A and B are shown apart, each in its own frame.
Chain A
Amino acid sequence: MKVRSFFRYLVIILITLAIIFPVIWLVSTSFKNPVDIFAVPPIFIPGNPTTDHYATLFFEADIFKYILNSVIVASITTLVSLLAGTLAAYSLARFKFPLNLNFHLSFWVLSTRMFPPIVTIIPLFAMMRFFGLVNTRIGLILAYSAFNLPFVVWMMRGFFMEIPKELEEAAMVDGDSRMTAFRRIILPIAKPGLVATAVFTMILSWNEFLFALILSQTRAAATLPIGIASTVTQYEIKWGQMSAAGVIAVVPVLVFAFIVQRHLVRGMSFGAIKG
């Protein structure tokens, strides 16, 4: 029995190491001198670490512009999709629509999540061009808000359905209007869920690549993933800068992931599993 549990630990530890090692390797590479990046045998902890790659990114490669675009796009997207999505979710969770529309609307919302992005992006690109929104942050924000909406609606719908109806009914008997009761009673209770949904929306927008690639080809709107992709050119790969840019993209995501730990199952399963 002891031997078996020893082997179980060994296997778990080995798998965990295999999973976490690539991330550590990225961080380690980002602090290596060019010579050390190509060293054989590989150097695990650089003897004379350098911050040159980060300096190059900030002073020559304009990474700041990409970060700024990412931050602006991700935060406004989160605001817009949360505002629209939370209201819709509340409506779907609380009111009875005619013709079984509660079910059909919820399902339609869910089905939009199944649309492959490549399928929507060609028409979307044509539309954005028509309105002159290509290479603008507004265009990207509109696209991201729309594609994050299904997620927000499904998450918040689940959270609202867990709050007893009687709470706002009592407030409305006391003279509150529907919206006042929503704001005064329901929102504070749903706040943890709201925060989790917001953080997930941030992560999804921060990580998104395909829409950004097509809708923001110039520096005016290009986000961080585009900045990272630009270190891989047809002729050469700037290994040091590439890994440093990767680290910059990863740090906020890990902080966010830490915040939503408790809601991870729910967020990643599209609200289907209440974990």
Chain B
Amino acid sequence: MKTNSTRQLRISWFEKNIQWMLIVPTVILLLALTVYPLVYLVIGMFHTINIRTGERTFVGLGNFIEMVQDPFFWNAMKNTAIYTCSAVAIEFGLGLFLAVALSRRIVGRNIFRSLILTPMMLPPIVAAVIFKIIYMPDFGILNWFLALFGIEGIIWEASVNTALISLIIVDVWQWTPFMFLILLAGLQAIPLDPYEAAEVDGATGLQIFRDITFPLLKPAVLIALLLRIMDTFRIFDQIFIMTGGGPANATETMSIYIYRHGFRFSDVGYATAMSFVMLIITIMISNIFIKRLRTEEVF
């Protein structure tokens, strides 16, 4: 009788606090993923750390002073900025064009849509592999194709001048479909009534796009840009396979540079300091977008 009532008590306690019970496992896992690394970074960035022995030496702001004076750090920042801005801008332009073109009634629209969406599902590693084959300098299909138009001798990811562009092309190929997908969904969610009203009022095509389509498309645009900027800013996989950051650091982005210091040079203190900077930039960019998204009531 007694055991039965304690059991009942326990169940009702569990039932009463069920909302907390349900969320605790997730909170613990995410603490391990966010708060612990943050603490590690904030401690690590003031030290030099030997990853093998785990030995720490306090260096104060030494890592940050080194960073400011390190030309390769600024090179990585510059490459990341160029990569992020140009890849996202091109993807947005192409994606918007495709979305508008396919938002009208077109024969075989679903087939086009499925085919166009293929690249974004692939492992980024495979996208890199595919373009390694396409870019082959002497026997590659791209150079054979360009030679038909008299353009010869481009060595793509192997040349300092074209390496970064070659990688941006891979990104554009893989992720334009994503922009297309999100923008198409945004376009299709717009109701028809405002268009009919605008037509009755005699609005021009440009006016309609500026005053109706674009404002209603804004949440989709913001989401697409936010997710793409976050992902290009951290770009690693394709570069690791295609160039490893070379030739002559021409494709070295923040992620690649931090990886090299953390895991190749065993310079963990410096790597954590750079990670911290990267994290701050990420938080700043995503905050801008999330504020806008909240006023648009997406989140």
Contact = CB atoms under 8 A, between A and B. Distances in A.
B33 to A, nearest CB: 4
B30 A37 contact: no
A239 B258 CA distance: 29
Q: Give the interface size class of chain B.
A: 35 or more
B24 to A, nearest CB: 8
Interface string A133-175: 0000000000001110110010000000000000000000000
B236 interface: yes
Given A114-B286, A206-B123, A123 B29 contact: no
Interface stretch (A8-16, A48-56, A187-195): A8-16
Which of A20, A84, A270: most chain B Cβ within 10 A? Answer: A84
Majority-rule SS of A interface residues: helix
Contacts of A110: 290, 299
Given A9-B106, A122-B271, A122-B275, A209 B139 contact: no
Contacts, number: 271
A23 B23 contact: no
B272 A88 contact: no
B247 interface: no
Contact of B30 (A121, A127, A150, A246): A150
A153 B11 CA distance: 26
A207 interface: yes
Contacts of B112: 12, 16
Nearest to A113: B230
A21 to B, nearest CB: 9
B190 interface: no
B39 to A, nearest CB: 8
Contact of B15 (A147, A178, A272): A178
B149 to A, nearest CB: 14
Q: Give the interface size class of chain A.
A: 35 or more
Which of A26, A254, A268: most chain B Cβ within 10 A? Answer: A268
B25 A115 contact: no
A149 B114 CA distance: 28
Given A114-B230, A122-B268, A272-B223, A246 B32 contact: no
Contacts of A261: 114
B154 interface: no
B155 interface: no
Contact of A116 (B106, B121, B182, B255): B255
Given A38-B138, A119-B279, 8 more contacts: A84-B25, A105-B27, A112-B30, A119-B276, A253-B122, A269-B220, A273-B185, A273-B298
Interface of A: 8-9, 11-12, 15-16, 19-20, 22-23, 25-26, 29, 37-42, 83-85, 87-88, 90-92, 94-95, 97, 105, 107-127, 145-147, 149-150, 153, 177-179, 203, 206-207, 209-210, 213-214, 224-225, 228-229, 232, 237, 239, 242-243, 245-246, 249-250, 253-254, 256-257, 261, 264-265, 268-270, 272-273, 275
The 10 closest A-B pairs by CB, nearest first: A123-B40, A95-B19, A88-B26, A123-B37, A91-B22, A207-B123, A116-B234, A146-B33, A38-B139, A275-B185
27 contacts: A9-B106, A15-B94, A15-B98, A23-B118, A26-B133, A40-B144, A42-B141, A84-B26, A87-B26, A92-B23, A94-B19, A112-B30, A112-B34, A116-B234, A119-B41, A119-B275, A122-B44, A122-B271, A123-B41, A206-B123, A209-B237, A210-B255, A242-B129, A246-B130, A254-B121, A257-B118, A273-B185
